[in-house]
Amino acid sequence: MLPTTTAQAQAQQPDTPLAFHDSGEEARFHALTTSLRCVMCQNESLADSQAMIARDLRRQILDLMRQGRSDSQIRQFLVARYGEFVLYQPRIEPATWVLWFGPPLLLLGGIVTVAIIVRKRSARVRRQIENIAAPPVSGNESNEEW
């Protein structure tokens, strides 16, 4: 029963605020954590998540920043560890082409389909109007040769 109590106590502990050296470091940290997804919470950034793993990752990101790693190196580290899911904007590569180019292509296909349907219907309506407006040809005025 002791491990359960310890886990509950850890889960209820508030997130201790991180101490930043300056406002530039804090701004960089917040830019990074808002662009990364919590690996436990589907739709939350690391900055917003209250999950224990998100708290640990925020501390780890700050440590990596203080080690002199660039933003791209920190992202690469997290992708190597957790996969592309951790990025809110996955990289453009063959495996993610559907994510990047699928929605615009579907939208373009829909626009083309609607344009074709509208054009066909307007042509049909035009023909119907022409048929109604054209005077009927009588037998005496026929252009046919006998």
pLDDT block averages, 10 residues each, the chain of length 146: 44 63 89 89 85 91 92 92 82 76 92 95 87 65 57
3-state class (DSSP) for residue 89:
coil
pLDDT of amino acid 8:
43
Interhelix angle 23-35/52-66, nearest 10 degrees: 130
What is the structure's pLDDT at 64?
A: 93
Has this prediction a pTM greater than 0.85?
A: no
Give 33-55 as a DSSP string. Answer: HHHBB-SSSTT-BTTT--SHHHH
First to last CA, the chain: 109
Task: Answer positive or negative: Cα dihedral of 98, 101, 103, 107.
Answer: negative
- Looking at residue 131, its pLDDT comes to 81
Quick one: pLDDT at residue 59?
93
Q: What is the pLDDT of residue 73?
A: 93
